[in-house]
């Protein structure tokens, strides 16, 4: 059941990138990104209301904890920009290459306290990832 749900969420991500990309072709990258965020916040507010959840934060939280929002904007802007040039398949494969490479670098330098070892298998995997992307770009 969890496996089917995982595949389904993969479907959802592809559909999301497509819808956001199509929104961009109508409104442009930045306006589309604003619209995407407003739509998401409206839905989140409904969910918060249903759960009777307060959005107040009691503890003092350093400002850099909120940087995820800025990074999320960059993700959306990058995807929206690339969509009309590359299509969904290539865009998502390249994105996955970026994700894997970043995770590897974070693990290598033990940033965020990950303790995974990088070995020959991971490097071989990364090379296959790059190859796969080259095949998609070239042919």
Please, which of residues 33-92 interact with other proteins by CB under 8 A? 33-45, 47-48, 51, 53, 55, 57, 59, 61, 64-82, 84-92
Least distance to other proteins, CB of residue 107, Å: 10
- Cβ–Cβ < 8 Å for 110, 48: no
**Which stretches within the chain are classed as H helix?**
2-27, 29-50, 67-108, 120-138
Greatest alpha-carbon pair distance for the chain in Å reads 55
Is residue 5 at the binding interface for other proteins, with CB under 8 A as the rule?
Answer: yes
* Cα 68 to the center of its chain, rounded Å: 11
Residue 126 beta carbon to other proteins: minimum distance, rounded to whole angstroms: 6
C-alpha distance across the termini of the chain, in Å = 36
Residues 99-118 that bind other proteins (CB under 8 A): 99-104, 106, 112
* Residue number, 26 or 109, with CB nearest to other proteins: 26
Residue 109 beta carbon to other proteins: minimum distance, rounded to whole angstroms: 13
């Amino acid at each position: 059941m969890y496996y089917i749900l995982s595949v389904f969420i993969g479907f959802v991500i592809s559909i999301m990138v497509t819808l956001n990309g199509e929104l961009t072709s109508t409104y442009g990258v930045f306006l589309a990104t604003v619209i995407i965020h407003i739509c998401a916040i409206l839905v989140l507010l409904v969910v918060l209301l249903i759960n009777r959840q307060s959005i107040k934060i009691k503890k003092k939280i350093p400002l850099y904890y909120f940087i995820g929002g800025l990074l999320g904007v960059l993700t959306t802007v990058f995807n929206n920009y690339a969509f009309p040039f590359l299509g969904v398949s290539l865009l998502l494969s390249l994105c996955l290459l970026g994700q894997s490479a970043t995770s590897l670098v974070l693990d290598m330098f033990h940033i965020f306290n990950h303790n995974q070892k990088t070995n020959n298998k991971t490097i071989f995997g990364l090379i296959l990832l790059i190859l796969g992307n080259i095949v998609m770009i070239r042919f």
